[in-house]
Amino acid sequence: MKELLLLSGLGVLALVAEIINARKLIYPFVIFGLLLNIGLCYHDLGSNESIYGMLRLDNAALAFTILFSVIALVWFIMAKNYFSDETNISDHFSLVLFSLVGVFLLSSYTHLSMLFLGVEILSIPVYILAGSDKRNVYSNEAAFKYFLLGAFASGFLLLGIVMVYGGVGSFYITQIAASALLPYGLSEKLVAIGLVLILFAFAFKMSAVPFHFWAPDVYTGAPTSITAYMSTIVKIGAIAGFYRLYVGVVAVYAQYDFFSSYLLIFLIIALLTIVVGNVIAASQSNVKRLLAYSSIGHAGFIILGIAMISPTVNFTTWYYLLAYCLANILTFWVLIIVSKQDNAEDISVFNGLVKRNPILAGTMTVGLLSMAGIPPLGGFFAKYFILLDVIGRGYMMIAIIAILASLIGVYYYFRIIIAMFAKNPIQTATIEIGSFTKLLMILVSCLLLAIGIAPEYVYNLIF
**Is 89 one of the binding residues for another protein (CB under 8 A)?**
no
- Cα gap 101→272, rounded to integer Å: 31
**Binding of another protein by 87 (CB under 8 A):** yes
- Please identify which residue in 125, 248, 305, 378 interacts with another protein, judged by CB under 8 A: 125
Judged by CB, which is closer to another protein: 88, or 310? 88
178 scored as a contact of another protein (CB under 8 A) = no
272 binds another protein per the rule CB under 8 A: no
Alpha carbons 336 and 330: distance in angstroms, whole number: 10
Binding of another protein by 120 (CB under 8 A): yes
Question: Is residue 121 at the binding interface for another protein, with CB under 8 A as the rule?
Answer: yes
Q: Quick one: which of 187, 286, 341, 348 contacts another protein (CB under 8 A)?
A: 187
Quick check: 319 and 455 in contact, CB under 8 A? yes
For residue 91, CA distances in Å to 219, 231, 307, 311 come to: 21, 21, 38, 42
Q: How far apart are CA 164 and CA 180, in angstroms?
A: 12
**Calpha distance 119→321 (Å, rounded):** 18
User: Helix (H, G, I), strand (E, B), or coil: what is residue 286?
Assistant: strand
Out of 45, 54, 359, 403, the residue judged to bind another protein by CB under 8 A = 54
Q: Which is nearer to another protein, 121 or 306 (CB)?
A: 121
Residue 132 vs 314, nearer CB to another protein: 132
Question: Is residue 15 at the binding interface for another protein, with CB under 8 A as the rule?
Answer: yes
Name every residue whose Cβ is closer than 8 Å to that of residue 307 and which is 6 or more positions away in sequence.
Answer: 246, 263, 266, 267, 270
Taking the complex as a whole, the smallest distance from the CB of residue 461 to another protein amounts, in Å, to: 30
Helix (H) / strand (E) containing 33:
helix 23-44
Instruction: Closer to another protein by CB, 187 or 341: give it.
Output: 187
Q: Least distance from C-beta 91 to another protein, angstroms?
A: 4
Count interface residues toward another protein (CB under 8 A): 45
Q: Mask 273-292, x = binds another protein (CB under 8 A)? A: --------------------
Nearer to another protein by C-beta: 118 or 277?
Answer: 118
Distance of CA 273 to the CA centre of its chain: 15
Cα separation, 203 vs 270, in Å, equals 9
Q: How far is the CB of 99 from another protein (least distance, A)?
A: 7
Query: In angstroms, rounded to a whole number, what is the distance separating the alpha carbons of residues 37 and 6?
Result: 7
Q: Under the criterion CB under 8 A, does residue 94 sit at the interface with another protein?
A: yes
Q: Are 188 and 214 within 8 A, CB to CB?
A: no
Only one of the segments 57-65, 66-74, 121-129, 345-353 lies at the binding site for another protein (rule: CB under 8 A); that segment is: 121-129
Site string for another protein, 135-174 (x = CB under 8 A): x-----------------------------xxx-x-----
Residue (55 or 287) nearer to another protein, CB: 55
Hey, how many other C-beta atoms are within 10 angstroms of the C-beta on 84?
10
Q: Is 195 in the site for another protein (CB under 8 A)?
A: no
Q: How far apart are CA 323 and CA 178, in angstroms?
A: 34
CA 327/CA 287 separation, integer angstroms = 15
Please measure the distance between the N-terminal and C-terminal CA atoms of the chain and give it in whole angstroms: 21
* Contact between 6 and another protein per CB under 8 A: no
Name the one range near another protein by CB under 8 A: 4-12, 224-232, 331-339, 404-412: 4-12
Query: What part of residues 96-115 is at the interface with another protein (CB under 8 A)?
Result: 98-99, 101, 105, 111, 113-114
Distance CA 152, CA 162 (A): 16
Q: Which of 386, 410, 232 is nearest to 302 (CA)?
A: 386
The residues of the shown chain that bind another protein, judged by CB under 8 A, are: 8, 11-12, 15, 51-55, 86-88, 91, 94-95, 98-99, 101, 105, 111, 113-114, 117, 120-121, 124-125, 127-128, 131-132, 134-135, 165-167, 169, 185-190, 192-193
